[in-house]
Amino acid sequence: MAPEKLNSQQRARLNRSIQAGLDLAATSLKMMLGGEIHIGVVTSSARPDGVSVRLGMSGALEGGLYIDLPENMAVKIVKTLSAGREISLLDDIARSSLMELGNVLASVFVGYFDQYPGLRTLPSPPDLSLVPLDIPVFAGLFHAELCWTKSSERAEVLIGLERSALDILLAG
């Protein structure tokens, strides 16, 4: 079921499911980073240049989760997580911090669906790239903006779902 073949009611239902998982993830990131965090589904947005974190999803909901962070926002996140120490996005602590951000977001997001029988999904270990990553073709691709009050920039979160995952969410 390709996204363009979804009717508005189906798309709205999927958006509500995705948003519920993102709301939980935003709460966890708020505890991790401080400030206010909002992650909201949007119709589409431009991917910022900077740092990309990619995680696969396997289990009931096959797909992938991508976080594209503007470089300045990535630096602020790393400084927050490393108690203000000066960093370079190339050093191990910075890379580890950004991958941990991806782990938390993805783990809490897929954990939301664990409350439903048969929807056990696990994220893969994160990959980090300092150049934009190509997004594979998914049956459904959902765009969300990540806003953090400690940064004037916005990150993009992309959630790609395979057809089987769309079918499961629409049936539930």
CATH assignment of the domain containing 37: 3.40.1550.10
Residue 113: its pLDDT value, please? 92
> By the 8 A CB rule, do 133 and 160 touch?
no
Confidence of residue 84 (pLDDT cuts 50, 70, 90): low
Closest CA to 56 of 132, 133, 154: 133
- Could you give the number of structural domains in the chain? 1
Pairing of β 140-148 and β 127-129: unpaired
The stretch 65-89 carries a mean pLDDT of 88
The stretch 26-35 carries a mean pLDDT of 95
Phi, psi of 65 (to 5 degrees): -130, 130
Q: Which domain holds residue 94?
A: 3-171
Q: List residues bridging with 160 in a β-sheet.
A: 64, 141
Would you tell me how many other CB atoms lie within 10 Å of the CB of residue 123? 22
Residue 115: its pLDDT value, please? 87
